[in-house]
Chains A and B, each alone.
Chain A
Amino acid sequence: DSGVTQTPKHLITATGQRVTLRCSPRSGDLSVYWYQQSLDQGLQFLIQYYNGEERAKGNILERFSAQQFPDLHSELNLSSLELGDSALYFCASSSGRAWEQFFGPGTRLTVL
C-alpha cells in the first residue's frame, strides 16, 4: 500500500459524458501527478500539481482538466468522453530530494 488513494476503482460510462476522478496523496506529499495507461499509448504523464499550483503539463487533452485543492487532494475531470479515453488513470504523489513517485491503485475507466 503506497498511501495514495484513488476513487472510484472502476468507472463505466458512455461516450459524451463527463467524469471526475479523485486522488488523495500520501500524508505530507505536496506534489500530485496524473498518468494515463492504455494498451496503445503506454504510460503517459498528464499533469502535475504542487501545493495547489499547476507545475507541468504533458499529453493532456483539452477535454481533460485537473485541480489540486487546499487539502492537497486532486481531481481529474474528463469530459466529452470518447471510446479512446478508456484506460487506467493513475495518480502519484511525491516529496523529498529523490522525488520518488508513489502510485495509487488507479481508476479503470471504460467508455462504452
Chain B
Amino acid sequence: ELKVEQNPLFLSMQEGKNYTIYCNYSTTSDRLYWYRQDPGKSLESLFVLLSNGAVKQEGRLMASLDTKARLSTLHITAAVHDLSATYFCAVVHSGAGSYQLTFGKGTKLSVIP
C-alpha cells in the first residue's frame, strides 16, 4: 500500500523567511504533484514532477523530486502572507490505465507579518 508522509503538518513562519516542506513516499513512483488548498476551496495544481531530479520553480516556490530517495521537497523563499494555505503532495499509483493519487496529510502554512 502506497503511503505518503508530509512534514511538518503545521508550519508558522515569519514573512521573509525560508523553509522547506518534505514529502516522503513508500513505493516507487515517477510522478509527483504538489497542490495548494485555501480554506473551503478546491485544490490548485502547483507543480507536476515527472522524473528523477526534476526541479520546477514558480515565484517563491520551488519543488524537486528524488525518486531514488522517494522524496520531494517544496521550498519556500522569502515567504509572504499570500502563501498562507495548506499544501499537499500527491503520488500517482498507476497501473492498467488507472492513475489514482495518494495524498499526504497536508502542511498548513501560516505566514505571519
Chain A residues close to B by CB (< 8 Å): 2, 31, 33, 35, 42-45, 48, 50, 55-56, 58, 90, 92, 94, 98-106
Contact = CB atoms under 8 A, between A and B. Distances in A.
A103 B36 CA distance: 11
Contact of A48 (B43, B44, B100): B100
Given A43-B88, A100-B33, A55 B103 contact: no
Q: Is the interface of B mostly helix, strand, loop or mixed?
A: strand
B45 A102 contact: yes
Among B96, B98, B103, chain A packs the most CB atoms within 10 A around the CB of B98
Contacts, number: 59
Q: How large is the interface on B (under 10, 10 to 19, 20 to 34, 35 or more residues)?
A: 20 to 34
B31 A48 contact: no
B55 interface: no
B43 A90 contact: yes
B96 A55 contact: yes
The 9 A-B residue pairs with the shortest CB-CB distance in the complex, in nearest-first order: A56-B98, A43-B103, A103-B43, A45-B100, A55-B98, A99-B99, A103-B42, A105-B42, A56-B100
B102 interface: yes
B97 A50 contact: yes
A50 B48 CA distance: 21
Among B48, B88, B97, B99, chain A packs the most CB atoms within 10 A around the CB of B99
